[in-house]
Amino acid sequence: MLASIKQYIDELNPENGKVCDLFCGSGVVSEYLLQQYDVLAVDIQNYSKVYCEARLTGGIKDIDLHGIESTIKSSLVRKINLNDYKPVLDYEEECKKALEQGNLEPMYEIIEKGSLYAYLENLEYADSALSAELAKVFSGVQKNIADRNNSIDSVFVRYYGGLYFTYKQAIDIDAIASYAFEQKEPLKSKMLAALMGAVTDVVNTVGKQFAQPLKVKNKDGSLKRNLAHKIKTDRGMDIFEYFNTWLSYYVERPQTTHDFKVVCDDYTTALRNLKPGDVKVVYADPPYTRYHYSRYYHILETLCLHDAPQISTTFPNGKGGLSRAIYRNDRHQSPFCIKSKAPKAFDDMFRYVYDAQASLILSYSPFDANSGATPRLLSIDEIVDLAKKYYQHVEVVSPGQFMHSRFNRLDNNYEINYEAERLIICRK
């Protein structure tokens, strides 16, 4: 869609004024626009800010990728973790061997109940008790980490190890993150973005998302044998290999002559901070289904915040035990994903962009009831009515034919809909 989006921006912006990418996510739109315009990129998620900084900042010369890898591999953080978590690392190797020999049970248990965080915090988590073997190795780790049981340098192995990654992969992720946080910008953001790329490549889930670990059991309690191949493949992947590939990519971004600023904040705050005329065009791509983005990216958010978050419970009142996916309890709930709040969220957006005297191009995905797609929060007509409260000239165009990534279905990761996107153009 990039060329289409830019074509409409060009029309509204003949003097090449600054453009705001309001819900910038991965930063690919900002990166494309930066070739011609100064850009203000805004998103509420921290991982988005890191992605944008990594993409929009030009390349870094003379980076010794091999040197970085060997420094991280021999770092104190990694050495301590490899030692502290040795009981689970050894046990994991045994589980891998058992899996090779057709015994799924031990590895599948790790995927289902392997969060050390739950064990160490003594929180209600899985629906049945741990096996004696797993309980024993967890207790061994607990003794080893007595005075390091809340360390930021072991968050991945403690929270997500076993569930989403092997414990070994998670220790490598922790080591790279710790090293990245010691670096200055722009290397720090580029390393974190590269690590997010690697983490996304290796994660052992359906569709490589972070919304939930694999469900290893059928409804009748039997183990899903057909997952064994995927488990072996994903859990055999080397974090450093993927990290290095992504780091080469981010350190080679082109230099730009245009200015950019990345803001991690709510869209209303960012828009209210604009003085009239600061930006000429706002491109807005808000969420369009009830599925919160934060649900799919909570692990990337933890990686970029570099904190040890509290984990949410299944129900808001603390009932139902820990969320199976180990969600952070402060994950953002966007008003665009909540039926009762979405109309006001759009209204606020139109009003604040109008007050900033900018034109607006809104991307939204219409709902096709026949396609089996996830329902949208508002129809295109409802959104156009809201836009017309402020803008006199509102037009709906189709930027072409697209497929949307579909996180919530196991069998098919893409929502095939050849009219999957609309641009609502609000001319100042």
Ligand X SMILES: C[S@@+](CC[C@H](N)C(=O)[O-])C[C@H]1O[C@@H](n2cnc3c(N)ncnc32)[C@H](O)[C@@H]1O
Indicate which single residue of 6, 13, 23, 239 sits in contact with ligand X (rule: CB under 6 A). Answer: 23
Q: Does 425 sit near ligand X (CB under 6 A)?
A: no
Residues 44-63: x/- map of binding to ligand X (CB under 6 A)?
Answer: xx--x---------------
Indicate which single residue of 31, 109, 285, 421 sits in contact with ligand X (rule: CB under 6 A). Answer: 285
Q: Which residues pair with 357 in a beta bridge?
A: none
Shortest distance in whole angstroms from residue 44 CB to ligand X: 4
Q: Which residues pair with 422 in a beta bridge?
A: 364
Contact at 8 Å (CB) between 113 and 125?
A: yes
Stretch that binds ligand X, among 18-26, 186-194, 367-375, 403-411 (CB under 6 A): 18-26
Q: How many residues does the chain have?
A: 428
Q: Does 286 sit near ligand X (CB under 6 A)?
A: yes
Contact at 8 Å (CB) between 308 and 330?
A: no
163 Cβ contact partners less than 8 Å away, ≥ 6 residues apart: 110, 111, 114, 115, 213, 326
Taking CB under 6 A as the criterion, which residues in 291-310 touch ligand X?
A: 293
What is the rounded CA–CA span in Å between residue 173 and residue 200? 11
Q: Does 267 sit near ligand X (CB under 6 A)?
A: yes
Q: Which two tokens stand for residue 310?
A: 């509290």
| Rg of the chain taking only CA atoms, in angstroms | 23
Q: Does 266 sit near ligand X (CB under 6 A)?
A: yes
Q: Which is nearer to ligand X, 346 or 354 (CB)?
A: 346
Stretch that binds ligand X, among 41-49, 113-121, 253-261, 310-318 (CB under 6 A): 41-49
Q: Does 108 sit near ligand X (CB under 6 A)?
A: no
Contacts 24+ apart (CB under 8 A), 117-123: 117/158, 117/159, 117/311, 117/326, 118/311, 118/322, 118/326, 120/149, 120/158, 123/311, 123/321, 123/322
Q: Does 353 sit near ligand X (CB under 6 A)?
A: no
The residue count for binding ligand X (CB under 6 A) is 18
Shortest distance in whole angstroms from residue 338 CB to ligand X: 10
Contact at 8 Å (CB) between 285 and 29?
A: yes
Q: Which is nearer to ligand X, 29 or 362 (CB)?
A: 29
| Nearest CA among 404, 366, 233, 293 for reference residue 43 | 293
Shortest distance in whole angstroms from residue 265 CB to ligand X: 7
Q: Which is nearer to ligand X, 121 or 201 (CB)?
A: 201
Interface residues with ligand X (CB under 6 A)? 23-26, 28-29, 43-45, 48, 266-267, 285-287, 293, 334, 336
